[in-house]
Amino acid sequence: MAKSYQLKMKQFKEFVRKEFYHILRDRRSLLLLLAMPIVLMIIFGFAISNEIKNNSLAVYDMAKDQASQKIIEAFKASKYFNISYNIYSEDEIEKMFRQNKAALVIVIPSQFNSNLIATNKAAIQIIADASDPNTATSLINYATSIITEYQSSLNQQANIPYQIQTETRMLYNPELKSAYTFVPGVMGLILMLISAMMTSVAIVREKELGTMEVLLVSPLNPVLIVIAKAIPYFLIGVINVLTIIALSVFAMGLPVEGNFFLLLAESMLFIISCLSLGLLISTMAQSQQVALLISLLVLMLPTMLLSGFIFPVENMPKVLQWISNIVPATWYILMIKAIMLKGLGFASVWKENLVLIGMTIFFLAVSIKRFNIRLD
Amino acid sequence: MNTIEVNKISKTYKTDKDAVKALDNISLSVNEKEIFGLIGPDGAGKTTLFRILTTLLLADEGDASVDGADVKKDYKKIRESVGYMPGKFSLYQDLTVEENLHFFATIFKTTVQENYDLIKDIYTQIEPFKTRRAGKLSGGMKQKLALCCALIHKPTVLFLDEPTTGVDPVSRKEFWEMLKSLQKQGITIMVSTPYMDEANLCDRIAFIQTGKILSVDTPQNIIQNFSKKLFAVKGKDMYKILLKLRDFPDVQTSYAFGDYHHVTLKNDDEKESEIKKYLTTELPDEDITVKTIQPGIEDSFMEYLNKS
């Protein structure tokens, strides 16, 4: 019994070694696998950003008094706006938008200061280009907050007996950095891509090359083939997780609030569920192209669009929310956000944990059942 | 008990629209330490039979055993003891010669050293290239390496599916010499080939065509069983001659065989002179020569084909 176990271990080790040869000798793919997280982090970190800075602003100041000057000063000081144009007529407002000269126009009516003092009420018009609604909404929010701030500074000077001040605190992401949302997303995406896609392709390649035929007509246990294939990709997945965490901590200033080892352990769990998903795909695909296509359609798109990485799950129609629930990355991203950003412990992610473990067992069970010990 | 026993095996491949009968009620048996050849054209069902015997496919009907083990029930036992070389080169192209051999030795629970004697003669030929990647070897070298890998665990039965297809004539000859020496070491070999000339090198052969076995016998017997007198015809315009021969009412079969047409007549009492007389009157300028020849394996195959 001990001898047969030893032989099995030897077979297994040799098989893993062979897999490493395959991966290490395909330099280009290896480079791609290791560089992909870095590239994605750079793209999401610097190129794609939810923050909109340095917007050109046009001001139509009909009042030209003390109060209007103060407000314009406040806009000048903000990092979100640059005052690019001063305009002097109503016709020019539309021209500003038509010629793409300004993203936002503020109109301060005449007698602004005197109205404010006399009636305690004055209006400012903010006009935005809503052909891009997301940007317009953000800009209006920025502008409103600048004006509100000015208003509260006035209120402090005047002695008005009752006032309610709202004090907003952005928890877990006080500076509203977009890195907080995309780092967990990129982790989910990368691990899904590398672990699931590469495993499925690696197994299908053996079928395509005809080597599976020889492997099957050998004393090798088919389950060993599968596990041995997954091991190198597991390792690459772990390296990717470490790369992403290092980049986000050192390059983007995003701290790991929770336990680092818990974060790593959950990532490993997710890698294993991705590997089992890849295995499942490999039992269905007969060629590498098909495996790739299934991986892209079934794994990558839902992971990008439905996992809450880019679009919030709560806003989706019910049907898409259900689908989102069966995307493993959804659960992983929830866990990562909880551990990495909120600093929560295992006690608050056990439910997501259970779901992922359940999915993994399901994928593994189905693929072992489907794994063919013969050719057809 | 015979080393390989095939009993009324049938196998149909189903596609969406139609079904192809790859093997149709096939029975044969292979004796111990025999080189058994499966001779037939592409698509005859050779590979399917190999895959059933190596437990890669399940037959729809019938049963088969290898080395006393049933191909369905005892598939694990068969996978321990047989060597299989598929038709397509099935080694790892990005691994070196040495690494491939070491890999297959290990997954077959042995070491290269343990059974080195068996592969020594073959391996010494590729040893100079042992650090070369398998994908960069020539066709003949690849086959030798594949044979080494299939032999490394000292199998009792060796299945070789078209091992010499796409290999140059010199390497083919060497390959068959290797098979003969493996046979002497006690290995039963089942080999398939589309080349008729390789049939003579087997102890016994089976003709296979569209999923049916036409005949199983030694090559000598198969040639002796050729029932007709065989004539070889040659002339200037071979195509014209073939058409004329087929018009000749006395001719039973006529086929193009390399430089000659091989012809049999309905009445075996007739002589070559009668063919010559007919052809020279019909085609006076063709410089016709006719002679009686000994039939070969291919002639027998054609005869079996016509009978079936």
B197, HSE (Cβ side, Cα atoms, 13 Å): 7
Burial B228-237 (b: 16+ CB within 10 A, else e): ebbbbbebee
B119-128 average pLDDT score: 89
* Minimum-distance CB partner of A213 among B86, B93, B109: B86
What is the spatial distance between Cα B43 and Cα B37, in angstroms, rounded to a whole number?
A: 16
Nearest alpha-carbon partner for B37 in B211, B297, B295: B297
Domains of chain A plus CATH, in order, are 2-48+177-370 (no CATH), 55-157 (3.40.1710.10)
- On whether the CB atoms of residues B109 and A219 are closer than 8 A, the answer is yes
Q: How far away is chain A from the Cα of B108, in angstroms, using its nearest Cα?
A: 6
- Chain A residues bordering chain B (beta-carbon distance below 8 Å): 7, 10-11, 14-15, 18, 21-22, 25-26, 209-211, 213-220, 373-376
* Residue % of chain B over a pLDDT of 70: 99
For residue B105, the model assigns a pLDDT of 93
> pLDDT tens across A84-111, in order?
888 898 888 888 888 888 888 999 988 8
The b/e string for A101-138 (b: 16+ C-beta within 10 A; e otherwise) is ebbbbbbbeeebbebbeeeeebebeebbbeeeeebbeb
Q: Where are the beta strands (DSSP E) in A324-363?
A: none
Is the pLDDT assigned to residue B66 strictly greater than 90? yes
Q: Would you state the structure tokens that stand for residue A352, as one six-digit string?
A: 């997501």
Query: Between these two residues, A159 and A29, which has the higher pLDDT value?
Result: A29
Smallest CA–CA distance from B90 into chain A, residue: A211
For B36, residues 6+ apart whose C-beta sits below 8 A from its C-beta are: B4, B30, B188, B189, B190, B191, B202, B203, B204, B205, B206
Q: What span, in angstroms and rounded, lies between the C-alpha atoms of A30 and A33? A: 5
Statement: residue B249 has pLDDT above 60: yes
The answer on pLDDT for A176 being more than 70 is: no
Give pLDDT, residue B184: 92
Minimal CA–CA distance to B37: which of B197, B223, B152? B197
Chain B CA closest to residue A21: B95
Nearest Cα neighbor of A215 from B232, B104, B59 is B104
This prediction has a pTM of 0.79
What whole-number distance in Å separates Cα of residue B206 and Cα of residue B192? 9
Q: Angle A2-25/A222-246 helices, nearest 10 degrees?
A: 50
Would you place residue B78 in the very low, low, confident or very high pLDDT band (cuts 50, 70, 90)?
Answer: very high
HSE-CB of B154 using CA atoms within 13 angstroms? 13
| CATH 3.40.50.300 residue spans of chain B | 4-223
Residue A2: both structure tokens together:
């001990």
Residue A165: pLDDT band (50, 70, 90) is low
Tokens matching residue A211: 């080597």
Name the pairing type of β-strands A104-108 and B230-234.
Answer: unpaired
Inter-residue contact B144 to B150 (CB < 8 Å): no
Q: Would you say residue A1 has pLDDT above 60?
A: no
- Arithmetic mean of pLDDT over chain B: 89
Residues of B in contact with A215 (CB under 8 A): 107
3-class secondary structure, B230: strand
Q: Which residues of chain A are within 8 Å of residue B102 when distances are taken between CB atoms? A: 14
Confidence of residue B61 (pLDDT cuts 50, 70, 90): very high
Across residues A280-299, what is the average pLDDT? 88
SS3 call for B69: strand
Q: Which whole number is the average pLDDT over B130-158?
A: 91
**pLDDT tops 60 at residue A212:** yes
* CA neighbor of A220 nearest in space, from B165, B80, B227, B264: B80
pLDDT at position A101, please? 85
Contacts of B79 in chain A (CB under 8 A): 216-219
Q: Read off the pLDDT of residues B174-188 as tens digits, 9 standing for 90 and up.
A: 889 989 989 999 999
Q: Classify domain B226-307 at the CATH topology level.
A: Alpha-Beta Plaits (3.30.70)
Distance from CA of B123 to the nearest CA of A (A): 19
The 10 Å Cβ neighbour count of residue A145 is 13
Q: What is the DSSP letter of B196?
A: G
Q: Please judge whether B90 and A18 are an interchain contact, meaning their C-beta atoms are less than 8 angstroms apart.
A: no
Provide CB contacts within 8 A for A28, sequence distance 6+: none
**Residue B92 with chain A: CB contacts under 8 Å:** 18, 21-22, 209, 211
Of B82, B106, B109, the CB nearest to A217: B82
Interface test with A, best of B109, B142, B160 (most A CBs within 10 A): B109
pLDDT of residue A16 exceeding 90: yes
Q: How much is the pLDDT for A160?
A: 63
Whether residue B36 contacts residue B198, with contact meaning beta carbons closer than 8 Å, is answered with no
Residue A56, helix vs strand vs coil: strand
CB contact under 8 A, B54 and A217: yes
B267-290 mean pLDDT: 82
In angstroms, what separates the C-alpha of A211 from chain B's closest C-alpha? 5
| Structure letter (DSSP) for residue B71 | T
Kindly report, as residue ranges, where domains of CATH 3.30.70.100 are found in chain B.
226-307
Contact B93 A26 (CB under 8 A): no
Q: How many CA within 13 A on the CB side of residue A25?
A: 13
Angle between helices A222-246 and A179-191 (to 10 degrees): 160
B67, amino acid identity:
D
ipTM, two decimals: 0.84
> How near does any CA of chain A get to the CA of B153, in Å?
10
**How far is the C-alpha of A324 from the C-alpha of A307, rounded, in Å?**
6
The percent of residues in chain B predicted with pLDDT above 90, rounded, is: 41
User: Which one of B82, B107, B147, B153 makes the best mutation probe of the A interface by having the most chain A beta carbons within 10 Å?
Assistant: B107
Structure token pair of residue A177: 């950095």
Structure tokens at A300: 């990558």
- Alpha-carbon distance values, A189 to A217, A324, A333 (Å): 37, 14, 10
Q: What pLDDT digit, counting tens, does each position of A311-343 carry? A: 788 888 888 889 889 889 999 998 998 898 888
How far apart (Å, rounded) are the C-alpha atoms in residues B78 and B72?
Answer: 10
What is the pLDDT, as a whole number, of residue B128?
93
Residue B63 has pLDDT above 80, yes or no: yes
Evaluated on CA atoms A108, A114, A120, A121, the torsion sign reads negative
Chain A residue with minimal CA distance to B160? Answer: A214
CA distances to B246, B249, B256, B273 from B287, in Å? 18, 22, 17, 14
- The CATH number of B4-223 is which of 3.40.50.620, 3.40.50.300, 2.30.290.10, 3.40.50.970? 3.40.50.300
Helix axes of A198-209 and A260-284: crossing angle, nearest 10 degrees = 30
Question: Could you say which of A21, A210, A375 has the minimum Cβ distance to residue B90?
Answer: A210
- Average pLDDT of chain A, as a whole number: 86
How many A-B residue pairs are in contact by the CB < 8 A criterion? 77
Per-position DSSP letters for A281-311, written without gaps between them = HHHH-SSHHHHHHHIIIIIIHHHHHHSSSSS
